[in-house]
Each structure stands twice: as structure tokens, then as C-alpha cells.
């Protein structure tokens, strides 16, 4: 569990599955991701996050905002699951329910996940990436102190897909001496 002044990043609970599925079926929330997820696909995604936590000691955590909501979305670290010019790598990513956008939650939670990755896990670099059209996520990456690196075609998106072109951001922690 990771705590910030307003948030708790924690292991997933059964009660998180329905609101996460609702969020993953929302066209506005998912507009920069490849597709909407069915309930079964959303539940399978959470099970992969839980397995990642078991295997690596970190994941995209369930996020709660005490006094506001028991679940607002997912934020954390994951090993990048595809091959690209910058892999192997660990990414920081966020997916919040749109009711909680614009309140600084993504930045606050991602900053805490990055600190955990550098301090506890011992990572030397963390990346983030998004479709070129996702300006809001790029602003979060910049607020996190990440440096714009290069554009690439996402290998899991087909030619002609308007989301295929992505931008990579990087954040190094040379002082950690850990693994990347």
C-alpha cells in the first residue's frame, strides 16, 4: 500500500471490479486506448494486474480517495508488455474514472508510484507513453518531471489506427543504482 496526502494506492479488492468495468466501458474515459472493454475483459485485466503484483512486487494499483470514493481508478507501474526500441522497460500509467479528472489525482498517485519504483523496487528508469493526441496525459508526464523522448508506432495498433503514433517520456533515477 502507498499513501499520499489524499490517496491510497492498494491491492485490488473484489468491490473494485464493477466500477473499474464501468470505467473501461466508458467511451470518453477510453478514447485514447485501443478499445472499450467488456466486463469479462476488464476483470481479466485486473487479474493480470494482480499476477503482475505477485510476480514483480508492483503493479497498477487500485486507487481510493478517502472521504471521496472507495475506488477512483488504477495508477501504478507495469513492465511494458510488448517489444519496442525502448524495451524492456517499466511504465507508469493511470486510468481514472472521469468523475475524478482535473483534480490532480493522476499526478499525485503517479508521483507516489514512481517514488516507490525508484526507492523500494530499485528501478533506474521509468517510462510513460501515450497517443500523440492525448495532451492531458502528456501534461501529467511533464508535471511528473518526465522528459519527452521520441515518437513511435505502437506495435499493438494497426496501420491506419489514429492512435498508433505515440510519444515516449522518460524519467531516470541515476542515484538508485537499481535495475531498469
In the prediction, which pLDDT does 179 show? 45
List CB contacts of 156: < 8 A, sequence separation 6 or more.
34, 82
pLDDT band for 174, please (50, 70, 90 cuts). low
Q: Which residue has the cell 499526478?
A: 107
Count of domains for the chain:
1
**Residue 176, exposed/middle/buried by CB under 10 A (0-12, 13-18, 19+)?**
middle
Whether 178 has a pLDDT exceeding 50, the answer reads: no
Supply the pTM of this predicted model: 0.91
In the prediction, which pLDDT does 2 show? 95
Q: Could you read off the pLDDT of 6-32 as tens digits, one per residue?
A: 999 999 999 999 999 999 999 999 999
Residue range 123-135: mean pLDDT, rounded: 96
Whether 149 has a pLDDT exceeding 80, the answer reads: yes
Per-chain mean pLDDT for the chain:
94
Residue range 144-173: mean pLDDT, rounded: 94
Three-class secondary structure of residue 141 per DSSP: helix
Q: Could you read off the pLDDT of 76-108 as tens digits, one per residue?
A: 999 999 999 899 999 999 999 999 999 999 999
Return the CATH number at 94. 3.40.630.30
Q: Which residue has the cell 508492483?
A: 58
Whether 114 has a pLDDT exceeding 80, the answer reads: yes
pLDDT band for 175, please (50, 70, 90 cuts). low
68 phi-psi bin (left φ>0, alpha ψ -120 to 50, beta other): alpha
Domain that holds residue 129: 2-176
Residues listed for the chain: 180
- What residue spans of 32-122 are helical by DSSP H? 39-56, 105-116
- What residue spans of the chain are helical by DSSP H? 17-24, 39-56, 105-116, 135-143
Amino acid at each position: 500500500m502507498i499513501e499520499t496526502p489524499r490517496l491510497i494506492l492498494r491491492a485490488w479488492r473484489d468491490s473494485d471490479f464493477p466500477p473499474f468495468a464501468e470505467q473501461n466501458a466508458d467511451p470518453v474515459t477510453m478514447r485514447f486506448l485501443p478499445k472499450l472493454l467488456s466486463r469479462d475483459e476488464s476483470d481479466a485485466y485486473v487479474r493480470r494486474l494482480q499476477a503482475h503484483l505477485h510476480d514483480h512486487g508492483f503493479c497498477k494499483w487500485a486507487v481510493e480517495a478517502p472521504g471521496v470514493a472507495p475506488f477512483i481508478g488504477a495508477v501504478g507501474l507495469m513492465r511494458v508488455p510488448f517489444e519496442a526500441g525502448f524495451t524492456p522497460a517499466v511504465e507508469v500509467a493511470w486510468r481514472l474514472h472521469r468523475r475524478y479528472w482535473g483534480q490532480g489525482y493522476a499526478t499525485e498517485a503517479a508521483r507516489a508510484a514512481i517514488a516507490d519504483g525508484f526507492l523500494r523496487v530499485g528501478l533506474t528508469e521509468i517510462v510513460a507513453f501515450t497517443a500523440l493526441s492525448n495532451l492531458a496525459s502528456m501534461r501529467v508526464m511533464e508535471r511528473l518531471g518526465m522528459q519527452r523522448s521520441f515518437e513511435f508506432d505502437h506495435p499493438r495498433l494497426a496501420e491506419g489506427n489514429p492512435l498508433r503514433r505515440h510519444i515516449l517520456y522518460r524519467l531516470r533515477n541515476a542515484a538508485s543504482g537499481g535495475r531498469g
